[in-house]
């Protein structure tokens, strides 16, 4: 099975070998030196505001901007409209439309509710939008309007009243930001868009500066420094949603899958960067053998640096994992908890029933990663590095919160009273008990 795809036999790996295969990306984010450096930068932005943001732009992005130039001006948006091809603008509108409709369904199914638990005791929740959201859109490795579609549309659909966007300037040092991102912001009706370095921009969104408004929740995919900044702002009471930039995918396949399509899909997320991971899990050796030449041919067609990124993703960071049977394949997939997952088997739904940890699951070979990344409408900004075990992709729910509601009548409270009093007396809270006893006395 020689080829570009590294092959790992799960049964032959010891605990350390399995851990090494499952761990990806976290070491860079939690590097102590990086954390110390980012903490210093965050504190500087918190203290000195716009000046610190401008200095970070000069230091890290090579462009000099005065504080009054941090906000993207309306004429820049107008120029962006002229620069972005009509086909791309049409695709942006289609992507926003699918994402908006998906998120409207999410909100409909997670709406406010009330139910009677006991006679006279009603409980429920009221779902409301958060007051403000700060969105970070990366630009270091290319143009990513799809990122703002993925995180901006849910925020708009949720009804967040104040949304601010930070975008690092393009690498040429001129200070301009990606025009395609500006088109997305314009389509979504987001007017507060700012140019700022990644970590400094996250800090500015968290604390606010003279130009950039403070936001209660900050999120967006980014490099380890950006992710580290999102961790750091949480120490100051601002919710930062950490989404690592390292892309990863896992395909669970059997012999019914087309090897050419498997190869194409394995390279989809693999081309993102040298920290990407692309994994094929199967219990049939022949699947790997048939994929190898298809991968080799397609890999040779990729331009640099995408070819080198993809070669690393399938040959070093990821690869094929050969397991004993379908049950072990599902077990390995859950342990990996991938950002993107595709099931390409004879019975996709049966396999899906066993999947508990994944950012997204795409069923069948007519549901490729790129379709979900760009247009299907389900979230494509997803937890990486195993965080899918404990969190979900960015939907409208990421921009809402719930208020618990309860109402008890006198009879319902009387029925609850003995247990409330037992716990209040046990924990030695006499005032807790008094509010019950006084009501019982009034109703006697």
Instruction: Out of 269, 272, 340, 360, pick the active-site residue.
Output: 340
Instruction: Out of 339, 349, 356, 360, pick the active-site residue.
Output: 339
Pairing type for strands 400-408 and 360-363 reads unpaired
Rounded to 10°, the helix 86-109/179-188 angle is 40
Phi then psi for 217, rounded to 5 degrees? Answer: -140, 135
Say whether 426 is catalytic: no
Say whether 104 is catalytic: no
- What are the structural domains of the chain? 7-25+246-377 (3.40.50.1980), 32-241 (3.40.50.1980), 409-443 (no CATH)
pLDDT one-digit tens code per residue, 134-180? 999 988 767 889 999 999 999 999 999 999 999 999 988 788 999 99
pLDDT one-digit tens code per residue, 338-382? 999 999 999 999 999 999 999 999 999 999 999 999 999 999 999
- Report, as an integer, the average pLDDT of 69-84: 96
What confidence score (pLDDT) does residue 443 get?
A: 73
Question: From CA 365, how far away is CA 7, in angstroms rounded?
Answer: 22
Whole-number percent of the chain with pLDDT over 90: 82
Q: Is the pLDDT of residue 53 over 80?
A: yes
Supply the Cα-derived Rg of the chain in whole angstroms: 25
Spatial CA neighbour of 282 closest among 255, 259, 315, 264: 255
What confidence score (pLDDT) does residue 335 get?
A: 96
Q: Is the pLDDT of residue 303 over 90?
A: yes
């Amino acid at each position: 099975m020689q080829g570009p795809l590294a092959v790992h036999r799960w049964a032959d790996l010891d605990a350390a070998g399995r851990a090494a295969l499952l761990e990806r990306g976290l070491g860079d984010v939690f590097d102590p030196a990086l954390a110390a450096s980012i903490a210093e930068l965050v504190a500087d932005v918190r203290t000195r505001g716009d000046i610190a943001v401008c200095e970070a732009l000069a230091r890290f992005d090579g462009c000099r901007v005065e504080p009054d130039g941090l906000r993207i001006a309306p004429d820049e948006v107008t120029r962006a409209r002229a620069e972005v091809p009509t086909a791309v603008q049409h695709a942006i509108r289609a992507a926003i439309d699918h994402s908006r409709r998906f998120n409207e369904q999410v909100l409909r199914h997670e709406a406010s509710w009330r139910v009677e638990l006991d006679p006279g005791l009603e409980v429920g929740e009221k779902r409301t939008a958060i007051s403000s959201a700060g969105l970070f859109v990366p630009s270091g490795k290319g143009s990513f309007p799809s990122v703002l579609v993925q995180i901006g549309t849910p925020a708009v659909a949720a009804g967040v009243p104040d949304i601010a966007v930070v975008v690092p300037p393009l690498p040429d040092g001129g200070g301009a930001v990606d025009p395609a991102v500006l088109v997305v912001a314009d389509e979504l009706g987001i007017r507060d868009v700012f140019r700022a370095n990644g970590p400094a921009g996250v800090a500015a969104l968290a604390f606010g500066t003279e130009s950039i408004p403070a936001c209660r929740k900050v999120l967006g995919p980014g490099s380890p420094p950006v992710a580290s900044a999102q961790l750091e702002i949480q120490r100051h009471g601002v919710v930062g949603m950490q989404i690592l930039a390292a892309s990863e995918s896992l395909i669970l396949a059997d012999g019914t899958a087309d090897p050419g399509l498997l190869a194409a899909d394995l390279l989809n997320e693999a081309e993102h960067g040298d920290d990407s991971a692309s994994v094929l899990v199967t219990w049939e050796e022949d699947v790997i053998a048939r994929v190898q030449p298809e991968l080799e041919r397609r890999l040779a067609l990729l331009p640099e640096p995408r070819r080198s990124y993809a070669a690393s993703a399938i040959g070093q960071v990821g690869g094929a994992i050969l397991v004993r049977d379908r049950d072990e394949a599902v077990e390995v997939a859950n342990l990996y908890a991938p950002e993107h997952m595709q099931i390409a088997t004879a019975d996709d739904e049966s396999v899906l029933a066993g999947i508990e940890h994944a950012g997204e699951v795409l069923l069948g070979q007519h549901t490729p990663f790129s379709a979900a990344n760009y247009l299907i409408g389900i979230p494509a900004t997803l937890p990486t590095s195993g965080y899918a075990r404990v969190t979900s992709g960015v939907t409208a729910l990421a921009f809402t919160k719930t208020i618990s509601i309860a109402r008890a009548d006198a009879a319902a409270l009387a029925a609850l009273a003995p247990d409330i009093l037992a716990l209040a007396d046990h924990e030695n809270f006499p005032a807790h008990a008094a509010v019950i006893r006084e009501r019982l006395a009034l109703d006697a």
